[in-house]
Structure 1
Amino acid sequence: MNKLALSFITAFTSFLVIGCSDKSVNDDNKVEVKPSSAVESEISQSEATLKESDKIKQNSDSINIPIHILKDDPKEVKYIEVKKDSTLQEKIESIIKVLSKECFNSLPMKVKLYPGNSKVRIELIEPKTDSESRVSWKKDYLNETTKEYTINTIVKNIIQEDYKGDWIKEVQLYYDGKLISLD
């Protein structure tokens, strides 16, 4: 029985990894996020020893925010380029849009920023279709084996500790009006 359970867990993990790898991205690995945003692939490094290239990069007009995509290579880092004068809401929405596409099969998420206290609420929304969707937050990303992955992926990428400006300090994830936690 234990071997059967282990086989199911291994198969599910493989499907999850395959599901998070979006091969529809064009050859130069750029994904359109907003009119002025793109994601660039970069050779990754260990999370324990962050290189200078794994930090937020700024120039006079834009900011490149690192996004850790946990798919084929858990160390892979991509960057979202956003305009420097974008609002915090726009920056967070850009990150969420890429995470949704790259890791969660484009499932919708709604962002609500609480001004002044550096907190954001992210609501995970089931797609509204007449027939049952093939992919669901509840079935695929908030079940017993994937809930921790979902929480870690979203929170880790929203909290940008190296960002030198006004940024998010706390992330709350909600599904169906209820706060998601590791029970």
Structure 2
Amino acid sequence: MSRQIFQLKVSLAGIRPPVWRRVLVPGAYTLDRLHRVLQYAVGWRDCHLHSFDIDGVSYGDPDPDPDGELALRDELEVRLDAVLGKGSRFRYTYDFGDWWEHDLVVEDVVLADPDERYPTCLDGGRAGPPENIGGPLGYRDLLAALADPGRPGSASLRDWVGDGFDPESFDAGRTTTLLRRLC
């Protein structure tokens, strides 16, 4: 039996210049496994709640309280190939406080290469924003602080993120290594 591989383009909404990734994932992955792929591909640490919105249905880790605020279908029970196809567009939201929205599109569905391991990161642009920076607006402030060290408030933002953060940096090979090790 052949395995379908989904080529997904992931873009962070509201960020300019864009932060994006192109990944290959098995169609048999559940949405829970896709969540892990997205976490490592963007550089998040899986510290917050998340959800998927596919064709008006929300998926995630369901609230154990039947009267709880989040009415999510269980992402562990849903495979990509059951709800998505070539050309499908959907949304992944991470961290309901910072509200990071990721726009995803299924660019292609291909047969698995028997000599390849999945998931794979094919390409991408720019480093993912640091956790707890305050969403797209906080990230814009951080980018401005990095670009203009004399700007008011710049020193505290630069200190908070540390010297190692380079917003232009992205390495698809390193990301693939992380994906295969952790997913």
TM (norm. structure 1) is 0.28
TM (norm. structure 2) is 0.28
Query: Highest relative contact order (Cα 8 Å, sep 6+), 1 or 2?
Result: 2
